[in-house]
Chain A
Amino acid sequence: MKAPFNEVISGFVSLLTGMGITLGQLFRPIVTVQYPHQTLTMPKRFRGHILLKKEPTTGKSTCVACDLCVKACPSDCILVEGEKKPGEKRKSVTLFELDYTKCSLCGACVEVCPVDALEYSRAYNLASTSKQEYKVMDLVKRLEDSKHP
């Protein structure tokens, strides 16, 4: 006779404790962000897809088309072509294509680059109606189109 009665009491205590904690939580600051009206800034080291860096003095990429990133890539998603222009010591990049559908964002290409020509993008809101847009990302064109230094 006593056991069920005890159970009711302990159940009621459990319920009140839970509700008390929930009530306390009500007065704590809000931890969520009202996306998409508010967004968080991505940290400096955030690994988005790669981009060619812009050299501030020339406005061009420092990439020398050495193919090290192509060899380092575990997913085989980079294609680089370059040519040696007359009067220049090293090759310069003419084509840099990223197949973002295969990229696993490991950063092997950024780390291996001898001239530090690659950087991570902070973009995380990526969406498109066509797969082709990510299948072939022309990074040289992106670099030329980008306004900011």
Chain B
Amino acid sequence: MLKVLDTSHSTGPQETFVLNLGPQHPATHGVLRVKLTMDGEFITNAEIVCGYIHREHEKMGENRKWDQFLPNTSRIDYLSAMMYTHAYVAVVEKAAGIQVPRRAEYVRVLTSEMNRITSHLLWWGAFLIDLGGLTPMLYAFDDREMVLDLLEALTGARLTFCYYRFGGLCDDVTDDFLTGTRKFVKHFRPRLKIFRRLVTDNIIVRKRLEDLGHVPAEMCRKYGATGPMIRGAGVAYDVRRAEPYSVYPELEFDIPTQPAGDNMARYLVRMAEMEQSLRIIEQTLDKMPDGPFMAKVPRILRPPAGDYVFAVESARGRFEVRVVSSGKEIPHRVRLRSPCFCNLSVFEEACRGMLLADALALMGSIDLVIPDIDR
């Protein structure tokens, strides 16, 4: 029998309604749809509908040669393009047994950390726009431009760098780039102090972030949330330390953590990470060895059959590539484990009972890149 909703007996507080957040909503920063069941201003349930920008990156990897997938790697998470390319080249190097020259490894770490800073700066600006403050974005982009200009002069592109190759880099670093990076590090430290005074200590920001959007460590573990999400819940998990790769073991840096697990904790972790990235950049500049930037690699790559996995710490968390080779010119399987997908799945549980405006702050603090969720 058809059940007709009888509204005559319903009392106010029991009534719920469904609110669509997205797929074209400025707060979701892309095409993500969230079906929110609302009880007045409070969220009782959230259902995430993703897949609007699904591009079959995994399948694309399986129908082209190993090196032809390289341009795709910068387009999965376009904000941490360097780290993503690093993961893919490293897994293929592992499979094919290619030894990467030390200079190339140092340059990779250097450029990855610069990429991390640009990513966090963009997040910082966009997050504060979500919270209603437009000015900080202009400060963030001022500095972000500097790094992007440096990387553009080095790699030829501003976002989709595609700079690494199997066995090294596509071109060597220039002296202009190295001196420019030193100048940037000098310039950026005082800027971080300005950011702290302008935003972090601001009472409005504190009121909107502190004690809201709790994501405890157990919840992170349950959904596989990594990166600043789990570090903001007090767990010092960082792939650069947990599964050391490249030359990270030779470098000194701390893993910033915050025990609170709220929006502010994740905010502070990212701000501290930028400082740590600066430390890493300085060390790589000091230790940069001379030598070749590219190893000898056969023109046609046929890695021996097997199953290979490699993970890197991207700006948003653990990014893992798994490739299965059948000894042919084309990979048998390419699997991408993206951090944003796992980080987003926390949202459903974490936003229950929150006010809508606070849930948007929580979503901003997760730092989503939608193409990375859908892949």
Contacts and interface: CB of A to CB of B under 8 A. Distances in A.
Interface in A47-76: 47, 72-74
The winner among A10, A11, A106 for most chain B CB atoms within 10 A is: A106
B153 interface: yes
Nearest to B194: A21
B73 to A, nearest CB: 10
A11 B65 CA distance: 59
Contacts of B152: 43, 46
Nearest to B67: A108
Interface in A73-109: 73-74, 104-108
B203 interface: yes
Kindly state the interface size class of chain A when it binds its partner.
Answer: 20 to 34
A18 B68 contact: no
Interface in B122-154: 135, 139, 142, 145, 152-154
A68 B142 CA distance: 42
B64 interface: yes
Contacts of B153: 43-45
Given A43-B152, A45-B153, A104-B71, A14 B203 contact: yes
Given A21-B194, A43-B153, A45-B154, A105 B160 contact: yes
A120 B198 contact: no
Given A17-B201, A21-B198, A107 B156 contact: yes
B64 to A, nearest CB: 6
B197 interface: yes
B64 A107 contact: no
A14 B170 CA distance: 48
Contacts of B157: 46-47, 105
Contacts of B69: 74
B44 interface: no
The winner among A22, A44, A45 for most chain B CB atoms within 10 A is: A45
A31 B157 CA distance: 20
Nearest to B153: A43
Contacts of B64: 74
A45 B171 contact: yes
Which secondary structure dominates chain B's binding surface?
Answer: helix
B260 interface: no
Contacts of B171: 45
A93 B242 CA distance: 53
Contact of A74 (B71, B135, B156, B203): B71
Contact of B198 (A17, A43, A44): A17
A7 B132 CA distance: 20
A13 B156 CA distance: 45
Nearest to B143: A31
Given A17-B197, A21-B194, A43-B153, A106 B162 contact: yes
Contacts of B70: 74, 106, 108
A7 B153 CA distance: 48
A105 B162 CA distance: 9
A111 interface: yes
Contact of B145 (A31, A44, A105): A31
Given A18-B202, A21-B194, A31-B142, A74 B170 contact: no
A21 B202 CA distance: 12
In the complex, the 4 A-B pairs of residues with the closest C-beta atoms, listed nearest first: A106-B71, A74-B68, A47-B156, A43-B153
22 contacts: A10-B203, A11-B203, A14-B203, A17-B201, A21-B194, A22-B135, A31-B145, A43-B152, A44-B153, A45-B153, A45-B155, A45-B156, A47-B155, A47-B157, A73-B68, A74-B70, A74-B71, A104-B75, A106-B71, A107-B156, A108-B68, A108-B70
